[in-house]
A and B are shown apart, each in its own frame.
Chain A
Amino acid sequence: MSAATTAAPPAARGRAPGARAGAVRLVGLAALALYAAVSLYPFLWMVSGAFKDRFEILAGGHLIPVRPTLDTLLQTWSELRFLDYFLNSLRVTGFTVLGVLAVYSLASYAFAVLDFPGRRALFWFFVGLLFVPGITVLLPVVILENRLGILGTHLGLVLPFVNGTAPLTVLMLTNAFRSVPRELHDAARVDGAGEARIFWRVYLPLSRPTMITVAVLVAVPTWNEYVLTRVSLTEESRYTLPLALESLATGNVPQYNEIMAGSLIIVVPVIVLFLALQRYFVSGLAGAVKD
């Protein structure tokens, strides 16, 4: 990917030579290292807490556990049913991401490539939804879902989540599809391909980094979503991880080592996902920036 291999731009070259440049470089590196530490800091304590037992966590102070133990994590995972919650979260997030990609890649293709009356108005309408504050539709969503009989189900989370991501997703995907050279489309038309085929064969493959970027940008907040989930899910067996963490933290005998273990279980999958998709993600974002 270009992002990883581009050499340092010339702005860095050809400046004051020798010792001063070295010092500048060193200061720069130090600043980067410092911010890396700041980025990691809470996360380090999360890991540290998760490996402490309930007595050590109360003592506080030191980062490296004196008596590191796996028990806290194992207990949180098995006895506190975090496996179930994990699967629930996976399901909600998975459906949401799939739904978003399916529904809005189609719509964005129409906005970017096809022509029909009302296209522009519809596009700006979807983008304008960005500013509708979630809080104003929170209660109506709950009431509507109760009417539809899906309140408190995972489907009842997925539908509003998908709907809620419309603005940014449409914006990004329309942008990406627009940057596909028009000639490819026209050539495919001449070869007799229908729009569905062109969409699937030409536009989707060429926009893969953007699709993946959208997936990550949708997955992270959905994985962590807490407000609608909190007011709509009531059955414990359907809880997602954030809710499980909340109920762990406000339930009986909450200890910070268990809370940290629960937190760790929540953040590790997202980190793994990000590291795995990072390559595409970065170039997808870069694509969104290029003019």
Chain B
Amino acid sequence: MEIDVVGRAAPVRDVLAPAPQPAAPGRSRWRGWLTGYAFVAPAVALFLLMGLYTIGYGVSLSFAEWNGFTPTWEWVGLDNYLDLLYRDPGLAPGLHRAALNTAVVMVVVPLGTIVLALPLAVLLNRVTRLRGLLRSVFFLPYVTSGIAVYYAWRYLLEPEGPINFLLRSLGLGGLARPQGFLADPATALPTLIVIMIWSAVPVAMLLYLAGLQSINPNVVEAAQMDGASPARVVRHIVWPLLRPITAAIVLLGLRDSMQGFQIFLVMTDGGPAGHTDVLGLQAYHLAFFKGLSSTLGLASALGWMIFLAALALTLLNARTLRSGR
């Protein structure tokens, strides 16, 4: 399943740039090709089995109206897309609101992740003694992320939960939420965003740390001896190395915020009163929580719109970060 099963690392770069093999003549070239196909065969076979049918099915369903039971689909063309976007007054407003929440998540989560992860990586890079231990501790939120830790958070965030308790005992009772953090419309979405950042920081921090460590100290030293200001060192030596990492973090953050909804499903289910509704969750509700009414096509259409938006944003992201070179 695509949902959250893929990890969150690996910067994109043009791994295929040069053609790897010198052209061999005749028979051996054919043999080489065959070997290549043999190596990709299992992956392609698996895709043909699990991917092709499901994607094809999903795409065609997005142009139909169906409740999962009738023997035939009713083809409706682009109706599902248009209804979702603006036409159906019963659907569009809810969707706009979810899109807005998704947009907030999409901007704040990657940004927050970077704002926390980069300084942490810099600090960690300077510490020598406890680095291993700290790195392990910092990594806990990633390895534990999932339904188990969401339940722990729910407990922490309850009206009589430890976080309110902590705030009150620190004399910060004014910050405590008597309704709990998830039931309170003012804090529900921000709280979920904080938790998403909390689970995204570890990988980002580790990537930055690896990037910082790959900076050649001699180059930095030489630059400093030449009288380069710290700002120049950062701009010309450090940042070029960190930029691809940042791009990867932003990319994966975008993807997670657009498609991931596990945390919303487990923690709030979109509540209170839609304050934490996001697009992925809406699609899930349309698909499975409508008392078997014919909204499967709508769910699928929404999913593909998310796909297109994610793709567009990624290309844009790649372009801006490249042109910043």
Flag whether A102 is at the interface (Cβ < 8 A). yes
- The yes or no answer to B173 lying at the interface (CB within 8 A) is no
Query: Do the beta carbons of A32 and B134 come within 8 Å of each other?
Result: yes
Find A135's partner among B5, B230, B303 (CB 8 Å cutoff). Answer: B303
- Contact residue among B4, B137, B244 (Cβ-Cβ distance under 8 Å from A40): B137
**Residue among A43, A117, A134, A270 with the most chain B CB within 10 A?**
A134
Contact of B144 among A4, A182, A242, A267 (CB under 8 A): A267
CB of B75 closer than 8 Å to a CB of A: no
- Distance (whole angstroms) from the CB of A209 to the closest CB of chain B: 11
Is the beta-carbon distance between A63 and B162 smaller than 8 angstroms?
Answer: yes
Q: Is there a chain A Cβ closer than 8 Å to B86's Cβ?
A: no
Q: Which residue of A lies closest to B300 (CB)?
A: A136
Q: Does B58 contact A (CB under 8 A)?
A: yes
- Nearest chain A CB to B70's CB is how many angstroms away? 14
B196: CB under 8 A from chain A?
A: no
Is B207 an interface residue when CB atoms closer than 8 A count as contact?
yes
Which of the four size classes fits the interface of chain A?
Answer: 35 or more
A116 to B30, CA, bound (A): 9
Contact B1 A110 (CB under 8 A): no
Docked pose: A138 CA to B58 CA in angstroms: 9
Size category of the B interface is: 35 or more
Determine the distance from Cα of A134 to Cα of B288 in the docked complex, in whole angstroms: 14
Interface contact B15-A231, CB-CB below 8 Å: no
Question: Which residues in A have their C-beta under 8 angstroms from that of B36?
Answer: 110, 114-116, 119
Q: Which stretch (B76-84, B174-182, B185-193, B257-265) binds chain A? A: B257-265
Does B320 lie at the interface of the complex (its beta carbon under 8 Å from any beta carbon of A)? no
Q: How far does the Cβ of B127 sit from chain A's closest Cβ, in whole Å?
A: 7
Residues of A near B62 (CB, < 8 A) are 136
6 A-B interface contacts by CB (under 8 A): A32-B134, A45-B162, A60-B162, A140-B57, A174-B15, A225-B1
Besides the known contacts A3-B210, A267-B149, 17 further A-B residue pairs in the complex with CB atoms under 8 A apart: A10-B220, A10-B224, A110-B37, A115-B32, A116-B36, A134-B3, A137-B58, A139-B58, A139-B299, A159-B49, A163-B51, A175-B13, A182-B20, A225-B5, A264-B148, A270-B143, A285-B210
